[in-house]
Amino acid sequence: MNDKIASLLNQQITKEFYSAYLYLDMANFYDEMDLDGYANYYMIQAQEERDHALLFMKYMQNNGLKVTLEAIDKPDKTFETVLDPLVAAAEHERYVTSLINDIYHEAHQAKDYRTMKFLDWFVDEQGEEEDNADSMVSRYKLFGTDPKGLYLLDQEYAARVYTAPSLTL
């Protein structure tokens, strides 16, 4: 594996941990608003992102690459309304997709087919993440401004359970 791809993979570990940190911040915001379902949703998102970071770490380790854990930035978003974190999450997922695409592009350029195969799961995952985030924004705009609608959405998100990634290395 070339040095550029190894560096991008290592940076992705930090980005995934940052994503977990960002989603924890969102969960805290919703917890303070007593929207336990939304808080649950983002706690699970944080778990998923942490697991994604660990998958990148394991991939690097399995390929004999040094993993360097970097500092995780403090989340820089300020939330005031129920909609704010939803919009921020959708934007963030599009950003993460661009990061995965950049690594994939470099792997393709280097004919690093093993890394491309590894990233295929993340490409699919990011499609799902973007769809889910966009759906949460749309559904809030349709139903969440009504107190009963917000209650029902919150109840739905409270029922979400964590499912570990199915990717094996």
Q: Is 131 within a domain?
A: yes
Q: Computed over its alpha carbons, how large is the radius of gyration of the chain?
A: 17
Per-residue pLDDT of the chain (169 residues; tens, 9 = 90+): 899 999 999 999 999 999 999 999 999 999 999 999 999 999 999 999 999 999 999 999 999 999 999 999 999 999 999 999 999 999 999 999 999 999 999 999 999 999 999 999 999 999 999 999 999 999 999 999 999 999 999 999 999 999 887 666 6
Contacts of 70 (CB under 8 A, 6+ apart): 10, 11, 13, 14
Looking at the domain assignment, is residue 84 inside a domain? Answer: yes
Has residue 53 been placed in a domain? Answer: yes
Residue 167, in any domain of the structure: no
Rounded CA-CA distance 44/21 in Å is: 12
CA dihedral (45, 46, 52, 55) in degrees, to 10, reads: -130
Residue 46 lies in a domain: yes
Asked whether residue 125 is assigned to any structural domain, the reply reads: yes
pLDDT given at position 1? 81
Number of domains in the chain: 1
Nearest to 140 by CA among 130, 155, 128, 150: 150
Task: Look at residue 168 and tell me if it is in a domain.
Answer: no
Instruction: Kindly report the CATH number assigned to the domain that includes residue 40.
Output: 1.20.1260.10
Q: Which domain holds residue 97?
A: 3-158
Domain contains 74: yes
Phi, psi of 69 (to 5 degrees): -80, 120
Give pLDDT, residue 165: 78
